[in-house]
Amino acid sequence: MTTVGILGGGQLARMLALSGAPLGLRFLVMDTVADACAGQFAPMIVGDWRDETALAEFASRVDVATFDFENVPAEAAQWLAERVPVFPSPTALAVAQDRLAEKTLFRDLGIPVPPFAAVDSRASLEAAIARIGTPCILKTRRLGYDGKGQFRLKSPGDLDAAWDALGVQATTVGLILEGFVAFESEVSVVAVRGRDGEFRAWPITQNWHVDGVLSASLAPAPVDAALADAAVAHARALAEALSYVGVFALELFCRGGELLANELAPRVHNSGHWTIEGSETSQFQNHLRAVLGLPLGATRMVGEACMLNWIGEMPDARAVLAEPGGHWHDYGKESRAGRKVGHATLRADTPQELAATLERVGKSLGREVQVQPVIAALR
């Protein structure tokens, strides 16, 4: 019996555990909070990764370890990797945890990026704004997610406000200034690389964010094939450079027929949730196969798919369940403003059918605003 350890017990760990059940896998989740939603399906150690006793117990009970949470300190991941196989590697994790290291690697690999500069003082912020220009966006280098730890500057006059908001973090997690990209669309490549180096990508996904949080994903993204191929080639180059093992997502902006890389998520990704029903093999199943050294499953799509995120509280499931291609995912979390509590995936055989399904679901749930951009992209 193989036990997979997962650091972090959120919905990603939960969906990993659900998808690993048919493979006969056991799971052990470690999280700082006792009510982490993966705990409903897997035994859990409640503890902090800085607590060596808890981490040692975790290590002693698992055959291989992976992450649901990308911000596990690289030192904790390294400590664990000295005791049990850990995928992705602590080195790959360390790069993806730091927006500066990540963007520098993108650039070194010839992957286009928005202009960026490290910021460690008010003076260096001023210099960075002078070089990059406005609009621009100041971000924490580490620990940001769902658009948290970001400040948008419309003009150089916003310098003080930006420094007031994030300046204290310049010497703790570090800061980076990036040029603001007036993108036409955002896409992501969700891909997997096996222990033997085999690489597979799912068809690329178009994503819509609201207030920095993913709202909807559509696959395949309605972009031309050359752009999609270039995005996948960038993802492959990154995976190879990092000797990456497991699933990851590369987020990119599309502007004027060109791609600019935004960030790398070193884990299964929200924009890949549609793969559960919309693909031959889901991202969760392929992540487990990759970390266990098993053959990877095909990543081809089964029809067209749209994922809608439920933020804050769950809507009524019936409008989605009434659809022939409607699939419901309730993460079993308490409602809380801004929290990802679930999602739905709608699948159809053609873009027209998917658009019609989204219209019906959007109307019944009073979520026309959420589905409208996806419907527009399908037409």
Please give the annotated binding residues for ATP, written as ranges: 99, 139, 144-150, 178-181, 186, 209, 262-263
Of 27 and 208, the one with the shorter C-beta distance to ligand ATP is: 208
Would you give the binding string for ligand ATP spanning residues 84-123, x where CB under 6 A is met? Answer: ------------------------------x---------
Positions 151 through 180 that interact with ligand ATP (CB under 6 A) = 178, 180
Partner from Mg ion, ligand ATP, none binding residue 266, C-beta < 5-8 Å depending on class: none
Angle between helices 351-365 and 368-378 (to 10 degrees): 170
Of 68, 98, 158, 186, the one binding ligand ATP by CB under 6 A:
186
209 binds ligand ATP, rule: CB under 6 A: yes
Rounded to whole angstroms, how far apart are CA atoms 71 and 58?
Answer: 17
Partner from ligand ATP, Mg ion, none binding residue 180, C-beta < 5-8 Å depending on class: ligand ATP
Q: In a 3-state reduction of DSSP, which class is residue 171?
A: coil
Contact 143, 74 (CB under 8 A): no
Of 38, 181, 358, 375, the one binding ligand ATP by CB under 6 A:
181
For residue 243, the 8-state DSSP code is: T
Of 62 and 132, the one with the shorter C-beta distance to ligand ATP is: 132
Residue at token pair 């703790």: 172
10 Å CB burial of residue 373 (0-12, 13-18, 19+) is middle
For residue 181, the 8-state DSSP code is: P
Of 145 and 313, the one with the shorter C-beta distance to ligand ATP is: 145
C-alpha radius of gyration, the chain, whole number: 20
Of 158 and 251, the one with the shorter C-beta distance to Mg ion is: 251
Of 212 and 332, the one with the shorter C-beta distance to ligand ATP is: 212
Other beta carbons less than 10 A from residue 258's beta carbon: 12
Rounded to whole angstroms, how far apart are CA atoms 294 and 303?
Answer: 26
Rounded to whole angstroms, how far apart are CA atoms 288 and 13?
Answer: 11
Give residues in contact with ligand ATP (CB under 6 A): 114, 137, 144-148, 178, 180-181, 186, 209, 212, 251, 262-263, 265
